[in-house]
Amino acid sequence: PIRNVQLEGVLTNEDIMTLSGQWKELLFTAGVQVQIYSIEENSLIVSLQKGWDGEIVRSFLLERMEVVKVTWDNQDSYPERLKPKKRRKKKTKKLAKTKKPASRKLTDEFPHPGN
């Protein structure tokens, strides 16, 4: 089972019931049966009928705007929108200077017999 799903913001019990009902129906249309339980403020437990559907459910939950963290098999996962973006490092001048010169064409050393 997905052990814990943490939600963003302050949600009422009614909001959580509505949200979990929508998610359950959406997953059901995809052929995945789940039970969703509210365990504490902004935290849910999702129970699966078929354990092999866990990755589908985890991916589904991470795409929801309300979800900030999913814990599954004791590993925390975060939505892509909340992960810091990686910046590419620029080449240093030293690396740029040590770059190999462009390779010579084979035809420069061994001209074609017709030339």
Long-range contacts formed by 20-25: CB under 8 A, 24+ apart: 20/44, 23/60, 23/61, 23/64
Is 110's pLDDT higher than 80? Answer: no
Residues 6+ apart with CB under 8 A from 95: none
Is 90's pLDDT higher than 80? Answer: no
Going from the N-terminus, what domains does the chain have, and what CATH number goes with each? 2-82 (3.30.70.260)
Residue 20: CB atoms within 10 Å: 19
- Confidence bin at 56 (pLDDT 50/70/90): confident
Is 27's pLDDT higher than 80? Answer: yes
Q: How many residues does the chain have?
A: 115
Single out the residue of 54, 60, 50 nearest to residue 74, CA to CA: 54
Is 25's pLDDT higher than 90? Answer: yes
Is 48's pLDDT higher than 60? Answer: yes
The DSSP letter of residue 18 is: H
Assess contact for 54 and 43: CB atoms under 8 A.
no
